[in-house]
Amino acid sequence: MEKSIIYQKGACPINSVNDLLSRKWVFGIMKDLFAGKKHFNEFKEDKPELSNVVLSSTLKYLEDQGMICKNVIEDENRRNTEYFLTEKGRKMNKILYDMVIFGLYELEGDLRDDEFKEEIKKGYEEILL
């Protein structure tokens, strides 16, 4: 019996997306980019356990994957790097929003207060939709 096409190596889009997103910190950095953060130190603000080395390598990884681009601004006194979502990266909004909804309403966790859930949902709608 022949294997179904969805089980052939390299043919599964779910595995491809999983490979892209399974790296630690990718979701948090993508969320931050959607929220308007664009500087290295902004990504670290609410992630004290995120090291500079890991953040640098994750940003480079996302750039290599075409999800983000960087803009380096140099003047006489300093160099400033800003990161932005590419068109490809912005297409992640629906996936991230669906994850938010699933997490809020299908996983118990600590979020049992319905009003608080709605506030969180609205906050994510503002940045993702």
List pLDDT tens digits, range 90-125: 999 999 999 999 998 888 777 778 888 899 999 999
- Reduced to 3 states (helix: H, G, I; strand: E, B; else coil), residue 84 is strand
What's the rounded Cα separation, in Å, for the pair 40 and 2? 49
- Whether residue 101 sits in one domain with residue 81: no
- Whether residue 101 sits in one domain with residue 80: no
Is the model's pLDDT at 54 over the cut of 90? yes
Write the single-letter amino acid at 20. L
- Whether residue 59 sits in one domain with residue 27: yes
Is the model's pLDDT at 50 over the cut of 90? yes
List pLDDT tens digits, range 81-98: 999 999 999 999 999 999
Specify the pLDDT at position 2: 56
User: How many CA atoms are closer than 13 Å to the CA of 107, on its beta-carbon side?
Assistant: 9
Q: What is the radius of gyration, based on Cα positions, of the chain?
A: 18
What's the rounded Cα separation, in Å, for the pair 92 and 99? 11
List pLDDT tens digits, range 9-39: 677 788 888 888 889 999 999 999 999 999 9
Q: What is the pTM of this model?
A: 0.86
- Whether residue 53 sits in one domain with residue 108: no
- Whether residue 58 sits in one domain with residue 82: yes
Distance of alpha carbon 129 from its chain centroid, rounded? Answer: 14
Domain of 39, in residue numbers: 13-86
